[in-house]
Amino acid sequence: MAKIGTIRYPDVSVPEASKYTKIIYDFPTHSMSVKMLTEKLNLSTRGGWTGMILYSLKSYGLVEGRGVLRTTELGEKLVNPLSAQELAVTKETVFNKIDLWTKIRKDYGEKALSSEFCSYLADKLLIDRTIAQSKYEKVAKLYTESVTFCFPPTPSNLNDEGGRRKESLMENPQTPSQQVPTPRTPSGTVSYGSSVDYNIWVRRDLKSIAFVESQIEAIKSWLKFQKDQIVEEQKS
């Protein structure tokens, strides 16, 4: 299991851990030997990455056992929930198994991490800044993937904003010249894209740009998860 200072955290995010748990759960008796799992993942049974994955799955409370891995009740609720409500409760429970995740969420909520995240880790965890500098990108990636998976925006929140906007436009039709302008880029930032649907702004300095670069893979992973979910919904 990974470590920053004296604090341990998983080497894989919750959505990745969920994927591995589903492989085990879908096998007869909801259990599978470590050897078979590593074969399915094209990993070495004795490889370091295998140990990291297994330790992470157990840290999230999703599997148990040594030579043979068994899906726990919590793991079953995550990959085969009886309802959307059960899934939401389970995701929160799994997320809260990791003290570092709950600590960061307490300070940041579900909002994106700021470019000062490295300094935040050093100050909050009381660790040397060189250690924080070497670890913060990995921590940020795993945390971002986990928090967006476990606490996605709720439909009610989306309807509150999107629904009112749609209703307003229907009541007051606008000509092209009257359409709502895209937001102005804040001073001191650069804008990659900006529209009614999204805004991507970043402070124009090397530290901020480097931080955004570190988040790209996490964002791509989250988008892929959302796309897969939509595809599955369209099939059913």
Angle of the 99-108 helix axis to the 129-150 helix axis, nearest 10 = 80
- pTM exceeds cut of 0.85: no
Q: What is the pLDDT along the chain (236 residues), one digit of tens a residue?
A: 788 888 899 999 999 999 999 999 999 899 999 999 988 888 776 667 788 999 999 999 999 998 899 999 999 999 999 999 999 999 999 999 999 999 999 988 777 787 788 999 999 888 898 988 888 899 999 999 999 999 876 554 444 444 433 333 334 444 444 444 555 555 565 655 545 455 666 777 777 777 677 667 667 766 776 777 677 777 76
CA distances from 99 to 48, 53, 193, 203, 215 (A): 23, 18, 35, 30, 21
- Residues facing residue 190 across a β-bridge: 202
- Going from N- to C-terminal start, the domains of the chain cover 2-152+207-235
Please check whether residue 188 is in contact with residue 203, taking contact to mean a CB–CB distance below 8 angstroms.
yes
Q: Which two tokens stand for residue 6?
A: 């004296």
CA 224 distance to own-chain centroid: 11
Q: Which two tokens stand for residue 112?
A: 């994106």
